[in-house]
Amino acid sequence: MSYVAPLKDMLFAITELAGIDRLSGLPGCEDATSDTARAVLEEAARLHEDVLAPLNIDGDRNPSAWQDGVVTATPGFKDAFRQFAEGGWQGLQHPSGYGGQDLPKLLSTPCIEMLNAANLSLGLCPLLTDGAIEALLTAGSEEQKQRYVPKLISGEWTGTMNLTEPQAGSDLALVRTRAEPQADGSFKLFGTKIFITWGEHDMATNIAHLVLARTPSAPEGVKGISLFLVPKFLVNEDGSLGERNDVHCVSIEHKLGIKASPTAVLQFGDHGGAIGYLVGEENHGLEYMFIMMNAARFAVGVQGVAISDRAYQHAVAYAKERVQSRPVNGSAKQSVAIIQHPDVRRMLSTMRALTEGARALAYVAASHCDFAHRHPDEATRARHQAIYEYLVPIVKGWSTEMSLEVTSLGVQVHGGMGFIEETGAAQYYRDARILPIYEGTTAIQANDLVGRKTARDGGEVAALLLAQIDATLAEIEAHASYRSSAAFQAMYRHLSSGRDALNSAVRFVVEHVRRDPNAVFAGSVHYLTLAGIVLAGWQLARSLVLAADKRDEDLAFYDAKIATAHSYATQLLPRALALEASIRDARDGEGVLALREDQF
Amino acid sequence: MSYVAPLKDMLFAITELAGIDRLSGLPGCEDATSDTARAVLEEAARLHEDVLAPLNIDGDRNPSAWQDGVVTATPGFKDAFRQFAEGGWQGLQHPSGYGGQDLPKLLSTPCIEMLNAANLSLGLCPLLTDGAIEALLTAGSEEQKQRYVPKLISGEWTGTMNLTEPQAGSDLALVRTRAEPQADGSFKLFGTKIFITWGEHDMATNIAHLVLARTPSAPEGVKGISLFLVPKFLVNEDGSLGERNDVHCVSIEHKLGIKASPTAVLQFGDHGGAIGYLVGEENHGLEYMFIMMNAARFAVGVQGVAISDRAYQHAVAYAKERVQSRPVNGSAKQSVAIIQHPDVRRMLSTMRALTEGARALAYVAASHCDFAHRHPDEATRARHQAIYEYLVPIVKGWSTEMSLEVTSLGVQVHGGMGFIEETGAAQYYRDARILPIYEGTTAIQANDLVGRKTARDGGEVAALLLAQIDATLAEIEAHASYRSSAAFQAMYRHLSSGRDALNSAVRFVVEHVRRDPNAVFAGSVHYLTLAGIVLAGWQLARSLVLAADKRDEDLAFYDAKIATAHSYATQLLPRALALEASIRDARDGEGVLALREDQF
């Protein structure tokens, strides 16, 4: 099943919802216009549709393979990655001074979506390299930047993030990898890192591992973690490759999905010590790692959108082709394509509405990030940064959980064929399952949303967003279409309830987090889900108004936008009611925490 | 990870919720007492825990294999199935006249749960054999019964159901397999059947295929389908095996899960015609097949409970062992077992509450089936039969959809380890995915619930159940614990809302199904889900009252029951609100059907 990048939907989200034209007024963004967007996306679509997408199923059938420490990527991947790199796609969002394109996040985001929809396993390699680039640009020395970043941007080398150890998953305080200082200012690293995505492979000539480790004098816990750069091959003064470093891949995992992406166990220092270079200041590793993590978390959220869209496209194609049973309303005497059956339509509408809602939310978040980095006014920058940071755990947590539902519906639409691997729908179901886990599980995202993003400012940013929802509600109610349009009325009704539910949840979090943290954190995933449902619904409410206004320009396209928003309003926004009721009833930790540890 | 049959929970459901003692007053059920139940379940637990459960992961790693038409089961399966058969477990619910044990469904159901929790792939073989036995007992000739049923019950032979063809999945009107009458009264069959579970294997000496096909004179559509018995080896007069019949397995599927269970493509008549015998009357095949299907559907619902329990046990064990991060409420300075973290607790509580609720509903349904078959009073039998039939699509549809959520949470509790196949959690996630598909997808169940089970009697049976919920609500409100117990109050509040939501959905279905079938059928899965959530919640409400009354007899056990009901009330019952809102808003098919076919 081929993938077709939804260019029109993407451009609608970029132009109408995220308002790219407001971006182009910012310094350095003069070129960020709808026309640029179209040109970039069309170019990206060609590569991803033609080269990367067809390899997706190959990667599942013929995963990356390990032998004697060497990992060979699925046949075709090396060449596809070379084309990706040569096209400049790795450098999209990185500074032109290092060979990048310096495009705003609002334009790199749809490209990242395409990459991951085309090939999630392959897409992980550039995703991790982006993280390594950002860490080096933020905290690396000038020499490190000059020596590594251009090679990473050109795709000659790739990057990794080495956080997890067998005993240290979500809890980085438990990291044990040691870094011993050497006379020349470098370090020797000793330890085992697990779950290292693309930690070893043959698609690039070198790999820059960014590794969390402890120096001998480091304090206990997360305050004693430093960040090190450990290249697979040492790099000579002139930039050429030197000796093989003492970091070796001792195995790769046998996984449920994303099988083409090698998940490595890396052994550092088994043969005398892996040479590493401190990045930034000692004991500040976690801080830098969070910079990488935050970018990566956003990108993983986009992966959720991406795989949902791929699963949706696959399911729609099958539902239009598969003929089975007569219509329930007796409108035909013959069997019809299953897309005509109401429940199949419900499933496809749900898949589509969730995907479009999550996409809109991610793109709008990306534009806040761009304003936060480029707006001349400091207060404006700060406001956008705060909104972006509030949205990141939602984009990561909600869009990935949402992708489980969408890929599962994708299997269901296929009936028995969905369970047969050759059909392809099952691969999305398996691949997606990692998304709510890596780069911080949904609970970790929810804790971040509750703690750093809601409780810390007393719900101030949340209130800002709620006020924007109110403005959209007012716009809907005042709109000329309101009286005659069932979609407008349904959206007004359900978004109002959703808004109230979100407000109530925010109040609950702010008021109870100190005196009853267990109750609040027991409802934290519900809160994140509720925020996702309502904020994505709000984006589709905005899309509804915009589509109604522009309807005459392109009836088919805008009517589908109106219908998608209508479907989201009636089928998805009501979930806010249930979530809010569960959060509210967690008061004193009763109910959800009623079962004690020993009762399980 | 080993499986431990939850004997105490099962006995609670059998004795307290489904009221086995009322059954033992019925003719033929004199032995159906709590003591018998305990004895049977303990015996079953030994076999399933020790023999079948350890093979579950082997079946995934080393699936059934096809070569040259011969299918070899996973090593160990043949011997395990022999032990199962020799223990008499295949005959549990079948008549003693044919070698069965004649136990009520209320006692066979927990055994079926254990079998499928221990080994879902292996469990499918007896499940399909049960269907074949029921079809033959219902419609077979005396000779067919005598010749086949004892061998099927003893496990020397197994049975299959052959419905699906490449063009005929849910829509059996499209069946094309031909049956040509022969001079001796037998038929020759020609055609291809797909998705035939355990359609070929080496665990038994013969396989009795029950096959839907058309005779030359048959009318079009489902009214022209007959049922045939096509043995793999012909059976001589004396019961010994004769010639190999012309039915051959040309391939088995490469599936997402239940890999040890061979899913066969069977070719009938490629070498002159497969000899088959008409079962019952010509053109009545669908009717008989529905008898098999209904039993199988119930059993598949129990599979949903089974795999959920297995996934729950696996997740609890990991959560108690895995140490990671300090508690959010600052109650410890050290990292703790993750079961102490509120969101892990929420996930485990949700898994447990859903599993217990679904189990209770299935067991109560089983007891209605027993009353329907054995009560001396005809009107009473009819009432129980109607309730049982209302519950079957819910047990099938809801418990299996529920198992997707539970097995997904099971992966999530494991974090990154959940994505690694060796951990085992991913297998449940993959295995469960077939459950809402085979034996009729959730949409098919929902259509049955809407059409035959709700609209046809104007919601009468649903009203009967709603009245019983009202009685439970009154009991809760009048209970001595009501004032002091948060669990009682939460259950009263949320079950009341749930009851109203279910009532509203039933009214909507009854009032709109004729004039706006698309709207009703677009909401049919929501209605089924709502009914599942509320009816399972009602069972846990009954369990709450019973537990409060018996608390002093076993504090640890009954307090856990109270806590589980409390958790269900606050975390799961609120979903009824969202579902009802979505159903109500489907009026005129707007919203959910807003997107036209060409807009996808």
pLDDT over 80 (residue A589): no
DSSP per-residue string spanning A283-324: T-HHHHHHHHHHHHHHHHHHHHHHHHHHHHHHHHHHHHH-B-
Phi–psi pair at A275, nearest 5 degrees: -75, 125
Residues of chain B contacting residue A581, judged by C-beta atoms under 8 Å apart: 494, 570, 574, 577
CB within 8 Å of B553: residues ≥ 6 apart: none
Beta carbons of A420 and B255 less than 8 Å apart: yes
For residues A32 and A103, give the distance between their C-alpha atoms in angstroms, rounded to a whole number: 8
Nearest chain A CA: its distance from B219 CA (Å): 16
What does chain B come to in residues? 600
Say yes or no: B339 contacts chain A, CB-CB below 8 A.
Answer: yes
Lookup: tokens for A11: 């451009």
Beta carbons of B169 and A441 less than 8 Å apart: no
pLDDT over 80 (residue B589): no
Find the mean pLDDT for residues A518-547: 97
Instruction: Give the ranges where B252-377 is alpha helix by DSSP (H).
Output: 285-321, 342-374
Q: Residue B169: its pLDDT value, please?
A: 86
Kindly identify which residue of chain B lies nearest to residue A325, measuring between CA atoms: B171
pLDDT over 70 (residue B424): yes
| Among B196, B208, B104, B103, residue whose Cα is nearest residue B151 | B208
Roughly how many angstroms between the first and final C-alpha of chain A, as a whole number? 44
Residues of chain B contacting residue A409, judged by C-beta atoms under 8 Å apart: none
For residues B452 and B438, give the distance between their C-alpha atoms in angstroms, rounded to a whole number: 20
Q: Which of B343, B404, B571 sits opposite A446 (nearest CB)?
A: B343
pLDDT over 80 (residue B389): yes
Residue to test with chain A: of B335, B344, B346, most A Cβ within 10 A:
B346
Q: Which of A316, A329, A341 sits opposite B600 (nearest CB)?
A: A316
Nearest chain A CA: its distance from B97 CA (Å): 37
Nearest chain B CA: its distance from A239 CA (Å): 36
Residues of chain A contacting residue B4, judged by C-beta atoms under 8 Å apart: none
A143 is catalytic: no
Q: What are A377-390's pLDDT values in tens digits?
A: 999 999 999 999 99
Nearest chain A CA: its distance from B1 CA (Å): 16
Beta carbons of B591 and A569 less than 8 Å apart: yes
Nearest chain B CA: its distance from A437 CA (Å): 6
Say yes or no: B319 contacts chain A, CB-CB below 8 A.
Answer: yes
Residues of chain B contacting residue A548, judged by C-beta atoms under 8 Å apart: none
- Evaluated on CA atoms B339, B344, B346, B350, the torsion sign reads negative
- Is residue A419 included in any domain, yes or no? no
Q: What percent of chain A has pLDDT over 90?
A: 91
Say yes or no: A581 contacts chain B, CB-CB below 8 A.
Answer: yes
Q: Tell me the CB-side half-sphere exposure of residue A465, using CA atoms within 13 A.
A: 31
Scanning A276-305 for CB atoms below 8 A from B yields none
* Helices and strands (H, E) in chain B, number of each type: 19, 12
For residues B347 and B314, give the distance between their C-alpha atoms in angstroms, rounded to a whole number: 13
Say yes or no: B501 contacts chain A, CB-CB below 8 A.
Answer: no
pLDDT over 90 (residue B584): no
Q: Residue B330: its pLDDT value, please?
A: 85
Q: What are A493-517's pLDDT values in tens digits?
A: 999 999 999 999 999 999 999 998 9
Lookup: tokens for B162: 């052959």
For residues A130 and A137, give the distance between their C-alpha atoms in angstroms, rounded to a whole number: 10
Beta carbons of A429 and B256 less than 8 Å apart: yes
- Is residue B376 included in any domain, yes or no? no
Q: What percent of chain B has pLDDT over 70?
A: 99
Q: Which of B429, B443, B575 sits opposite A433 (nearest CB)?
A: B429
Q: What are A149-158's pLDDT values in tens digits?
A: 999 999 999 9
Q: Residue A499: its pLDDT value, please?
A: 98
Q: Residue B588: its pLDDT value, please?
A: 58
User: Chains A and B: how many Cβ contacts under 8 Å?
Assistant: 308
Beta carbons of B335 and A412 less than 8 Å apart: no
Q: What are B178-225's pLDDT values in tens digits?
A: 999 999 999 999 999 999 999 999 999 999 999 999 999 999 999 999
Nearest chain A CA: its distance from B32 CA (Å): 30
Single-letter residue type at A97: G
Strands (E), A254-399: 263-268, 274-279
> Would you give the distance in Å from CA B281 to the centre of its chain?
29
Q: Residue A264: its pLDDT value, please?
A: 98
Q: Which of A422, A518, A589 sits opposite B254 (nearest CB)?
A: A422
| Among A370, A335, A409, residue whose Cα is nearest residue B175 | A335
Q: Residue A170: its pLDDT value, please?
A: 83
Lookup: tokens for B229: 């018995």
CA distances from B304 to A405, B311, B358, B414, B450 (A): 18, 11, 8, 20, 22
Lookup: tokens for B272: 């002159």
- Is residue A172 included in any domain, yes or no? no
Say yes or no: B166 contacts chain A, CB-CB below 8 A.
Answer: no
Q: Which of A419, A434, A443 sits opposite B434 (nearest CB)?
A: A419
Beta carbons of B563 and A594 less than 8 Å apart: yes
Beta carbons of B328 and A164 less than 8 Å apart: no
Judged on CB neighbours under 10 Å (0-12, 13-18, 19+), B33 is middle
Judged on CB neighbours under 10 Å (0-12, 13-18, 19+), B497 is middle
Catalytic residue among B401, B439, B580, B597: B439
Which domain does B505 fall in, by range?
450-594
| Among B53, B66, B403, residue whose Cα is nearest residue B263 | B66
Say yes or no: A575 contacts chain B, CB-CB below 8 A.
Answer: yes
Beta carbons of B578 and A575 less than 8 Å apart: yes
For residues B424 and A591, give the distance between their C-alpha atoms in angstroms, rounded to a whole number: 29
Q: Residue B590: its pLDDT value, please?
A: 67
Kindly identify which residue of chain A lies nearest to residue B488, measuring between CA atoms: A591
Lookup: tokens for A144: 């490190």
> Would you give the distance in Å from CA A525 to the centre of its chain?
17
> Would you give the distance in Å from CA B473 to the centre of its chain?
28
Lookup: tokens for B113: 């749960």
What does chain A come to in residues? 600
Scanning B540-559 for CB atoms below 8 A from A yields 556, 559
Residues of chain B contacting residue A525, judged by C-beta atoms under 8 Å apart: 343, 346
For residues B331 and B590, give the distance between their C-alpha atoms in angstroms, rounded to a whole number: 51
CB atoms within 10 A of CB B423: 19
| Among B467, B466, B495, B462, residue whose Cα is nearest residue B565 | B495
Residues of chain B contacting residue A433, judged by C-beta atoms under 8 Å apart: 408, 411, 418-419, 426, 429
Phi–psi pair at A144, nearest 5 degrees: -60, -45
The DSSP call for residue B219 is: P
B317 Rama sector, left if φ>0, alpha if ψ -120 to 50, beta otherwise: alpha
Find the mean pLDDT for residues B311-322: 97
Say yes or no: A320 contacts chain B, CB-CB below 8 A.
Answer: yes
For residues B101 and B122, give the distance between their C-alpha atoms in angstroms, rounded to a whole number: 21
Q: Which of A419, A574, A578 sits opposite B433 (nearest CB)?
A: A419
Nearest chain A CA: its distance from B89 CA (Å): 29
Residues of chain A contacting residue B422, judged by C-beta atoms under 8 Å apart: 254
DSSP per-residue string spanning B304-333: HHHHHHHHHHHHHHHHHH-B-S--TT---S
Q: Which long-range contacts (CB under 8 A, 24 or more apart) does A168-174 make?
A: A169/B324, A169/B415, A169/B416, A170/A440, A170/A441, A170/A444, A170/B324, A170/B325, A170/B415, A171/B324, A171/B325, A171/B335, A172/A212, A172/A222, A172/A225, A172/A286, A172/A289, A173/A220, A173/A221, A173/A222, A173/B325, A173/B335, A174/B324, A174/B335
Strands (E), A46-167: 65-67, 70-72, 157-162
Find the mean pLDDT for residues A26-32: 87
- Is residue B368 included in any domain, yes or no? no
Output the 3-class SS for B539-599: HHHHHHHHHHHHHHHCHHHHHHHHHHHHHHHHHCCCHHHHHHHHHHCCHHHCCCCCCCHHH
Single-letter residue type at B496: S
Q: Residue A1: its pLDDT value, please?
A: 64
Residues of chain A contacting residue B447, judged by C-beta atoms under 8 Å apart: 328, 343
Say yes or no: A321 contacts chain B, CB-CB below 8 A.
Answer: no
Using DSSP, state whether B195 is helix, strand or coil: strand
Q: Residue A133: its pLDDT value, please?
A: 96
For residues A340 and A331, give the distance between their C-alpha atoms in angstroms, rounded to a whole number: 10
Q: Flag the least confident range among A13-27, A387-401, A463-477.
A: A13-27
Say yes or no: B199 contacts chain A, CB-CB below 8 A.
Answer: no
- Is residue B494 included in any domain, yes or no? yes
Name residue, tokens 């043959």: A202
Using DSSP, state whether B162 is helix, strand or coil: strand
Catalytic residue among A439, A477, A590, A597: A439
**Total domain count, chain A:** 1
The DSSP call for residue A573 is: T
For residues B115 and B93, give the distance between their C-alpha atoms in angstroms, rounded to a whole number: 14
Q: What are B18-61's pLDDT values in tens digits?
A: 999 999 889 888 888 999 999 999 999 999 999 999 999 999 99
Q: Residue B279: its pLDDT value, please?
A: 98
Lookup: tokens for B319: 């959560």
- Is residue A421 included in any domain, yes or no? no
Find the mean pLDDT for residues B76-83: 98
- Is residue B361 included in any domain, yes or no? no
CB within 8 Å of B237: residues ≥ 6 apart: none
Q: What are A225-274's pLDDT values in tens digits?
A: 999 999 999 999 999 999 999 999 999 999 999 999 999 999 999 999 99
Residue to test with chain A: of B340, B352, B412, most A Cβ within 10 A:
B412
The helix (H) or strand (E) run that includes residue B468 is: helix B460-478
Using pLDDT thresholds of 50, 70 and 90, give the confidence band for residue A330. confident
Scanning B465-494 for CB atoms below 8 A from A yields 486-487, 490, 494
Scanning A236-275 for CB atoms below 8 A from B yields 253-257
- Is residue A518 included in any domain, yes or no? yes
Roughly how many angstroms between the first and final C-alpha of chain B, as a whole number? 44
Q: Residue A119: its pLDDT value, please?
A: 98
Scanning B176-195 for CB atoms below 8 A from A yields 195
Going by their DSSP bridges, the two strands A247-252 and A241-244 should be labelled as unpaired
pLDDT over 90 (residue B295): no
Beta carbons of A349 and B560 less than 8 Å apart: no
Q: Residue A121: its pLDDT value, please?
A: 98
